[in-house]
């Protein structure tokens, strides 16, 4: 392990206590797994699992003109959000390339919480500061706050115990401030796994107590701590993109197949011109999902994608899907070859293995 | 952590069992615990010539692909076909059913460079 200074989340000691295997993740040291990726993956699909997401950035923007300003910074339409609602959206550069994908919540009529990727938090903050408008107060509260994602079909049962039976979880994509055992917490009904779930934010000083309360109450439900390994297999089965792998400044949301989160009816936002063009002309490449056709080595990022003897692209993500027990992945391929059913090959250590382009998501709950 | 006394070991976490002119090779209990969930094993080809510390097989977990090295110079004479259908044997029985390949070695003296159980135990702390 490198000697470089690594940031620890407020839950670091809990991870060690639970026997997690820790790995560097950007500037952070994070748990990649506890009991094993397969086991943790199944816990989330069948019961409930908990992920430390304290490394994610939390930016707060407030003031009377904030909604209008954010609408020029982000691709989705802020005006669609009533207080207490959130949406998935993109922060683009002037060329329409993706700086970050994030969720913005309207926590109050004139206040917004942006939950951003850990690896981009500083860059996002600097970019937004640079484009700041008078009358908007922007602050980075990341250092003082922690967060966990609690995901899986038993999440509602867990919170009935945690909050008492008469308090309901917020609706999908909504956020609410609550209190549990004296701690103020913010609960958002969202996630990165395809299961029902929440992301909970709290003061860093309350992190350990909240974490342990969740595990105490969740024990009868089969709750498990889950690491970055299972987070990756769960999100990839759903074809949720990972910034830095599937998304980057070299790609725009239309190419990534995420035009749904771009509102081109808005007359002004950074990167708009490129996206209008991409929508009109179509894009040369498209982010496609694929599944391996045979038992073989699992695909990984940066493997070659072949069609009819020609190298047509490179994988951006790849793993063995624990739910499907098959290799799965995503890759940018020429748009004419991105149609589901297209037979391709993935090059693994010099050998080509058959695969097929599939509809997203790759996994659907039965 | 299980580290049988009658085996030899490498720094890269292979175990070696002497069988006459041959050695049987797998990965240690420590290695399989670090990897967890082995989902694929790329076996060497029978007849392949292996250089000492040369990459010869690949063991893949959900998260990553890890190279397996030949402990000494030799020729592959046997591979564990059972791993093709059941790669998890490396997790469940690393020193037994989870063996990976057998090498016919060139020089028995080469084995003297390998670690004994006590030294390996110390190395993995």
pLDDT digits (tens, 9 = 90+) for B53-74: 999 999 999 989 999 999 999 9
Residue B1 within a domain: no
The domain locations on chain A are 1-283, 284-366
Residue B125 within a domain: no
Q: What is the CATH number of the domain that holds B82?
A: 2.40.50.100
Cβ–Cβ gap A297/B36 under 8 Å:
no
Instruction: Give the chain B residue nearest A32 (alpha carbons).
Output: B63
Interface predicted TM-score of the whole assembly (ipTM), two decimals? 0.87
Cβ–Cβ gap A37/B36 under 8 Å:
yes
Closest-CA distance, B43 to chain A, in angstroms, reads 11
Residue B89 within a domain: yes
Residue B58 within a domain: yes
pLDDT digits (tens, 9 = 90+) for A33-50: 999 999 999 999 999 999
Supply the range of the domain harboring residue B42: 8-119
Query: A284-366 domain in CATH 2.40.30.110?
Result: yes
Residue B3 within a domain: no
Chain A contact residues (CB < 8 Å to B): 21, 32-33, 36-38, 229, 232-233, 296-298, 300, 319-320, 322, 349
Share of chain A above pLDDT 70, in %: 99
Is the pLDDT confidence value at A309 over 60? yes
User: Which burial class, exposed, middle or buried, applies to A7 when counting CB atoms under 10 A from its CB (0-12, 13-18, 19+)?
Assistant: middle
- Count CB-CB contacts under 10 A for residue B108: 12
Share of chain A above pLDDT 90, in %: 95
Residue count of chain A, please give it: 366
pLDDT digits (tens, 9 = 90+) for B86-112: 999 999 999 999 999 999 999 999 999
Give the per-residue pLDDT at A1.
45
Closest-CA distance, B88 to chain A, in angstroms, reads 12
Residue B74 within a domain: yes
Q: Which residues does residue A333 pair with via DSSP β-bridges, in sequence order?
A: A286
Tell me which residue of A49, A363, A36, A365 sits closest to A197, measured CA to CA: A49
- Let me know: does A215 contact A50? Beta carbons within 8 Å: yes
Which of A56-60, A196-200, B121-125 is least confident?
B121-125
Considering CB atoms only, which of A32, A296, A297 is closest to B63? A32
Residue B103 within a domain: yes
Is the pLDDT confidence value at A200 over 60? yes
Domains identified in chain B, total number: 1
Give the per-residue pLDDT at A164.
84
Between the alpha carbon of residue A114 and those of residues A79, A111, A282, the distances in Å are 15, 10, 30
Hey, which CATH number is domain A1-283, 1.10.3720.10, 3.30.1360.120, 3.40.720.10, 3.90.76.10? 3.30.1360.120
Query: pTM of the full predicted structure?
Result: 0.94
Peptide bond into A31 cis (omega under 30): no
Q: Is B55 on the interface with A (CB under 8 A)?
A: no
Considering CB atoms only, which of B34, B36, B40 is closest to A298? B40
Give the per-residue pLDDT at A322.
97
Chain B residues inside the 8 Å CB shell of A21: 34
How far is Cα A333 from Cα A287, in angstroms, rounded to an integer?
7
Angle of helix A228-237 versus helix A37-46 axis, rounded to 10: 60
Is the pLDDT confidence value at A114 over 60? yes
């Amino acid at each position: 392990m490198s000697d470089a200074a690594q940031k620890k989340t407020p839950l670091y000691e809990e991870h060690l206590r639970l026997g997690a295997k820790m790995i560097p993740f950007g500037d952070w040291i994070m748990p990649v797994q506890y009991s094993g990726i397969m086991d943790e993956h199944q816990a989330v699909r069948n019961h409930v699992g908990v992920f430390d997401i304290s490394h994610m950035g939390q930016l707060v923007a407030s003031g009377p003109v904030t909604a209008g300003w954010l609408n020029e910074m982000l691709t989705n339409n802020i005006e669609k959000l009533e207080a207490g609602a959130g949406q998935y959206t993109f922060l683009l550069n002037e060329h329409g390339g993706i700086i970050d994908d994030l969720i913005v919540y309207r926590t109050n009529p004139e206040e917004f919480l942006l939950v951003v990727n850990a690896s981009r938090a500083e860059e996002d903050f600097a970019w937004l500061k640079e484009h700041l408008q008078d009358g908007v107060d922007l602050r980075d509260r990341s250092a003082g706050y922690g967060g966990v994602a609690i995901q899986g079909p038993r999440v509602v049962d867990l919170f009935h115990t945690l909050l008492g039976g008469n308090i309901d979880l917020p609706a999908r994509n909504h956020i609410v401030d609550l209190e549990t055992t004296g701690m103020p917490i913010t609960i958002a009904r969202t996630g990165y796994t395809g299961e029902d779930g929440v992301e909970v934010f709290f003061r860093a000083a309350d992190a350990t107590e909240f974490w342990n309360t969740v595990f105490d109450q969740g024990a009868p439900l089969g709750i498990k701590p889950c690491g970055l390994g299972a987070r990756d297999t769960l999100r990839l089965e759903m074809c949720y993109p990972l910034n830095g792998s599937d998304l980057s400044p070299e790609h725009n949301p239309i190419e990534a197949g995420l035009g749904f989160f771009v509102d081109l009816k808005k007359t002004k936002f950074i990167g708009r011109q490129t996206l209008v063009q991409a929508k009109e002309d179509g894009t040369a490449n498209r982010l496609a999902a694929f599944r391996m056709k045979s038992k073989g080595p699992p695909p990984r990022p940066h493997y070659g994608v072949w069609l009819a003897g020609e190298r047509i692209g490179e994988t951006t993500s790849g793993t063995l899907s624990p739910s499907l027990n098959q290799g799965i992945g995503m890759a940018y391929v020429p748009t004419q070859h991105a149609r589901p059913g297209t037979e391709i090959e993935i090059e693994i250590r010099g050998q080509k293995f058959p695969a097929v382009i599939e509809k997203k998501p790759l996994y659907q709950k039965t | 952590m299980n580290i049988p006394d009658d085996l030899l070991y490498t720094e890269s976490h292979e175990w070696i069992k002497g069988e006459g002119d041959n050695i049987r090779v797998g990965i240690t209990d420590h290695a399989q615990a670090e990897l967890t969930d082995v989902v694929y094993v790329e076996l060497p080809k029978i007849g392949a010539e292996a250089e000492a510390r040369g990459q010869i097989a690949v063991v893949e977990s959900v998260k990553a692909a890890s190279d397996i090295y030949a402990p000494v110079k030799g020729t592959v004479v046997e591979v564990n076909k059972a791993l093709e259908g059941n790669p998890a044997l490396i997790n469940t029985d690393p020193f037994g059913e989870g063996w990976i390949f057998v090498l016919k070695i060139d020089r028995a003296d080469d084995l003297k460079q390998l670690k004994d159980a006590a030294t390996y135990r110390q190395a993995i702390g």
